[in-house]
Amino acid sequence: MTDSSLLDEKYDFALLGTSLPLSILSAALARAGFSVLHIDDAEHYGGPWASLTLKELAGLRDAHKGTRIEDGIVDIDISFPSNSEEIPAELEAVNRHFAISLAPTLLPCSGPTIDVLIRSKVASYCTFRLLQQTAVYSNEGRAKDAWPLRTVPSSKEDIFKDKTLSLVDKRRLMKLLQQAAPKAPTEESTSEETAESSNTASTSTIDQLKGSFYDHLTSSDGPGFSARLASDVAYGVALCASPNESASAAMHRIQRHIVSVGRYGNSAYLVGQYGGAGEMAQCFSRASAVQGGTFVLAHKIKQLVRIQGKTEEQPKEGILPRWNIALDGIDGSCQAGCVIGDTDMLHRVNPAASSSKPGGTSRQAMGILLLDRGMRINPSPTTTDAEGNAIPIPPPPETALVVFPPLDDGSDSGKIGSVWALQMGEGTFSCPKGTYLVYLCAALPQSENDLQTAEQAKFALAHARQGVLQLAAASQPEWPADQAQQHQQSTSDSVTPLFECYMVRESATSTGGEEGQRRTDERKKELEENALLPVKSSLGNLATSLDDATQQAEELYWLLCGQEGIGREKAEELRRRQRRAASAYAVGRGLGGLPESEGSQSEPTEVLDFFPVSEDTDES
């Protein structure tokens, strides 16, 4: 047994599970001065967002065979070329080089997540790469030998350079982007305020759009795009999951895309290294620990019970204890004023305490392919010069996104909508040298929530898998690295994955508007009555899940602090003022000073905030 002195007697908050929303919340609460106890019965951080080695991924499968898997995974299966369940020796030897994500994501270059990464200074712990290329796959209307990918023009520069678009299409596309663009920033605005302005500029016009986005794009009352251009924009820029996705929701994503392009390069998205979201969860947990948060991993909770008896008066310091917690392997117990936990972990610990539902759920089909070469986005260049000398073929991109639009053929694959294929090479530190991880992700409509098994997910993703292997066949093998030269720049018509993994995931559906307010009111009531909040992550859309997690953490923060109204408004206003002052100094380096209205007033430092902006925070 471990000495109980490692734990304090009382904590303001106990967090169960290290999912990304709870890790962000943990860091925010600890930074605000609350005492935080953060527990996870797994040996790794992240929960449903975790980044795992190959052995850990295989262990996840082995530990839950025949039973419903926790951490949002309904079913999972892994296979190797030999049809063996054992990891091949050559992959086992480089096991530590893997950081396989259970929740592959894209990070918008502008938005709530990148804002919080900077304000919290967790950005100094994380590393990212730009998403190099985005393309849409199509077999329709092309010659037999034609290249199946069309690269997506994502900026004004790309549109003007694209030789496949007619002048009319370029004008129509520019008009759409101008319609979605936020208002021009004022002289005192910062890049973050530009992103915030997207919530006000053009929003009323966008919110008035009716019907599906695809129908809007092809309508004579709308942009009037051709079917091809509408597909490229809907699935390659707006990243729609289905042709039925609402026009307003898709236009808001395009709006976010516009303010993101150019901030860190000619791309709207970043790709996290070392597994992405799982690494981010660990970094926010580290930030919490630096601020005094206590973390306990790989210990199961043996007791989580409400403290009975007469209610005490609010203590002078901290929050009134309402829960008693005891851990396996640690003597004694501790108390917490409030418990916030991932629904799966809460259910394992105390089914009665987790009876409250955290909102609606949806399912996703996901596949992971490890390849000995990467997908080529552009056609293979000429391999010899005019004199017949061999020209080295450039390697495939380290990061790339290929979107497979929905099929309309009545098959199982046609039921799931778009499939996103995210490629991550060795430069993302997610896989060994000479290999590439390709994640296949598809959000399922509510009608397809009966998808239960990994085998069903594999069949549903079959067309995307075939397309990925077709694109990879145009590249040279790179694995094993010491044998790559033996291939003599040859390519193969057949590519066999080094391993394949398929799973069905379940997550919360993100809510807003009246439904979101209703859910907030329910949470507030449950918090007042039980001092308990169940949390379920939203993992639906590749491009929005990180921002959903950050917004979920902030909503919980203000709810727990009891200042979701006026306190939050004051904090956001203070943020805007501090950004303007920091921006003015950064541009002018202090020459001429700040406007009197900004520089002469003392800032109300007592305002509570969700990761307040500090004077030495670099907002660039």
Q: Comparing 313-317, 457-461, 535-539, which segment has the lowest mean pLDDT?
A: 313-317
The whole-number pLDDT of residue 183 equals 65
Percent of the chain with pLDDT over 70: 74
Query: What's the CATH fold of domain 56-98+361-507?
Result: Guanine Nucleotide Dissociation Inhibitor; domain 2 (3.30.519)
CATH number of 156-264: 1.10.405.10
d(CA 513, CA 248): 13
**DSSP one-letter code for 483:** G
Q: With DSSP H G I counted as helix, E B as strand and the rest as coil, what are the percentages for the chain, rounded to 5?
A: 35, 20, 45
> What SS3 state is found at 507?
strand
Sign of CA pseudo-dihedral 195, 201, 204, 208: negative
574: enclosing H helix or E strand:
helix 566-588
SS3 of 485-499: HHHCCCCCCCCCCCE
* Whole-structure pTM value: 0.86
Which tokens sit at 308?
A: 């009975």
Instruction: Provide the pLDDT confidence category of residue 5 given band limits of 50, 70 and 90.
Output: low
**DSSP one-letter code for 249:** H
Transcribe 175-215 into DSSP letters. HHHHHHPPPPP-TT--HHHHHHHTTTTTHHHHHT--SBHHH
Which tokens sit at 619?
A: 């907002």
> What SS3 state is found at 493?
coil
Alpha carbon distances (Å) from 135 to 233, 327, 375, 439: 10, 49, 11, 15
pLDDT in tens, 447-489: 555 677 888 889 889 999 999 999 999 898 998 855 544 443 4
Q: What integer is the mean pLDDT of 323-349?
A: 90
| CB 580 within 8 Å of CB 190 | yes
Which tokens sit at 81?
A: 């070329």
d(CA 281, CA 70): 18
Quote the mean pLDDT of the chain: 81
d(CA 207, CA 327): 49
> What SS3 state is found at 532?
strand
Q: What integer is the mean pLDDT of 134-142?
A: 81
Strand 107-108 vs strand 128-130: parallel, antiparallel, or unpaired?
unpaired
Which tokens sit at 263?
A: 């901030």
Q: Where are the domains of the chain?
A: 4-53+276-360+509-561, 56-98+361-507, 156-264
Residue 236: closest CA among 154, 162, 180: 154
E strand residue ranges, 62-219:
73-79, 100-101, 107-108, 128-130, 133-137, 149-151
Any idea what the Cα angle at residue 318 is, between residues 355 and 17, rounded to 5°? 40
Instruction: Provide the pLDDT confidence category of residue 72 given band limits of 50, 70 and 90.
Output: confident
pLDDT in tens, 348-386: 887 766 555 556 777 889 999 999 999 999 887 666 666
Residue type present at position 604 = P
The whole-number pLDDT of residue 440 equals 97
505: enclosing H helix or E strand:
strand 499-508
pLDDT in tens, 212-228: 899 999 988 888 998 88
| CB 154 within 8 Å of CB 261 | yes
Residue indicated by tokens 């972990």? 345
Q: What integer is the mean pLDDT of 49-54?
A: 95
pLDDT in tens, 149-201: 988 887 778 888 888 888 998 899 998 888 888 765 554 445 445 545 444 54
Instruction: Provide the pLDDT confidence category of residue 598 given band limits of 50, 70 and 90.
Output: very low
Q: Which residues pair with 424 in a beta bridge?
A: 399, 437
Instruction: Provide the pLDDT confidence category of residue 54 given band limits of 50, 70 and 90.
Output: very high
Q: What is the largest CA-CA distance in the chain?
A: 92
Residue type present at position 302 = K
d(CA 201, CA 556): 27
d(CA 77, CA 69): 11
**CATH topology of 4-53+276-360+509-561 equal to that of 156-264?**
no
**Backbone phi, psi, residue 344, to 5°:** -65, -45
Examine the pLDDT at 8 and tell me if it is beyond 50. yes
d(CA 152, CA 164): 11
Instruction: Mark 390-402 as b/e (b = at least 16 C-beta within 10 Å).
Output: eeebebbbbbbbb
Looking at the structure, give the CATH architecture of the domain made up of residues 4-53+276-360+509-561: 3-Layer(bba) Sandwich (3.50)
pLDDT in tens, 245-265: 899 989 999 999 999 998 998
* Residues contacting residue 590 through CB under 8 Å, at least 6 positions apart: none
The C-alpha torsion from 565 through 571 and 574 to 575, rounded to 10°, is -120
